[in-house]
Amino acid sequence: MTSPDKSPLFASTLARGLEVISAFRAGRPSMNLPELAAATHMTKSAAQRFAYTLETLGYLRKDPQSKRYQLTPRALSLGLGFLQTDSLIDRATPYLHQLNRECHESCNLSEPDANDMIFVARFPSHNQVMIPMPLGLSLPMYCTASGRAWLSRIAPDAARQKLEHMPRPAHTQSTLTELAPLLEAVAQAAKDGYAITEGEYFPGDISLAAPIVDAAGIPLGAINISVPASRWRLDDARTQLAPQLIETARAISAAGLSQRAGGFR
């Protein structure tokens, strides 16, 4: 099968421009041309052409003294259309808001993207939050509750294959990286109706997640509650938060069925 990027329909120039925009992230908020070229695996001249074009269009700005580039607020418009038109966000938001009001902890909606889960809606904790979790944050499936919740609703063979082929580095001392225990965790999530992790990506973070499914049982995303281990014990989180989480996930899934029955998408 021909690789998609070898197709005559593939616009490589557009792809490279998006690579430049995507290169800016936490820990790399600004770059000069050599750094930008290295981050995107381009020549310096190619990076300069793309940076100049994006600067002209208003997506990048260049500091006149340091010659370093950074994103402008206009770059937010690239994701705004998704946030405004995604039906799952629209459907889940009132339920997620209610869950947040009931548990007073951080409640999030995430959707799958390749090997990651991306936060697309968020209601922060009413208590002090030490870990920044902005919209658009991408976290790996294998070591997050949301990822395992989503994996628990696809076919076991598909989940195994996906886990086998994705990178699985250890982010903390608690991160599960071996295939066998990961498959056990996914199977347990399928049995329980939710997944739970403790300190596998962020130290001191306990996260519970339940999948959102469509009429055929195919997972569309996951909702999660995130709490600090400084205020919660794992068993207490299971007992007090998991029932609310599962009920909310089922309500969001059921709302999708109601919308389809009424002729909405």
> Cα-Cα-Cα-Cα dihedral of 244, 245, 246, 247, to 10°?
50
pLDDT lower than 50: segments of the chain = 263-265
pLDDT digits (tens, 9 = 90+) for 14-48: 999 999 999 998 788 999 999 999 999 999 999 99
Whether domain 4-75 has CATH 3.40.50.720: the reply is no
Phi, psi of 205 (to 5 degrees): -110, 130
Contact residues for 197 (Cβ-Cβ < 8 A; gap 6+): 143, 144, 145, 148, 205, 206, 207
Q: For the chain, which residues make up each domain, given as ranges? A: 4-75, 86-261
* Tens-digit pLDDT profile for residues 101-142: 999 999 999 999 999 999 999 998 877 665 667 888 899 999
Q: Using a cut of 0.75, tell me whether the model's pTM lies above it.
A: yes
Instruction: State the burial class of residue 197 (Cβ atoms within 10 Å of its Cβ: 0-12, 13-18, 19+).
Output: buried
Give the CATH H-level superfamily of domain 86-261: GAF domain (3.30.450.40)
